[in-house]
Structure 1
Amino acid sequence: MTKKIRTYSAAFKAEAVKKIADNKGNVSATAKQLGIAMQTLSNWQNKADKGQLIGTKEYDPELMAILEENKRLKRDLKVAQEERDILNEEG
């Protein structure tokens, strides 16, 4: 039996995080009200706190652009290192 993965819109995630404050910071109660896993909501809250959740006042598009560029550069570096290692083995 396969488990169905639920996806949520950015707006839903942002509203869910805002509801935590309405419940006096109670993540568990908020998750139950929304019918989602507590860990899922907690992850969204952590992202919001870091400025990485779209739709929240803490969201920082510049930070997200830097994080994406960092990921890309790490991938490029890994490829370059693998190519270097292959060339060193041959020569």
Structure 2
Amino acid sequence: MSIYYDDAWLPSLDGTHTKRVYRHGTAIAIGRVRLWQTCDEGELTHEWFTAERWEAGRYVPIQGEHADFLEAVERIVLDLATH
């Protein structure tokens, strides 16, 4: 399945940033990836990603955290294949 995703990270009300994921040839989102960040005082910023699938008019979290954006995108595609 060919997919694409937003170019820019969009800010969310909860402080995360998101990119929507689409099936190629459609403008309907199949899911989104959230970017989470924490920064301890005097420490480096820690980042991780979570995946959510679009189902019945809302985003449904897919269990697990990912160290890489593309890994989270792959999780959406795999989850879509099983639902």
Q: What TM-score does the superposition give when structure 1 sets the normalisation length?
A: 0.26
**Bigger helix fraction:** 1
**Bigger strand fraction:** 2
For the pair shown, the structure with the greater C-alpha radius of gyration is 1
Q: What TM-score does the superposition give when structure 2 sets the normalisation length?
A: 0.27
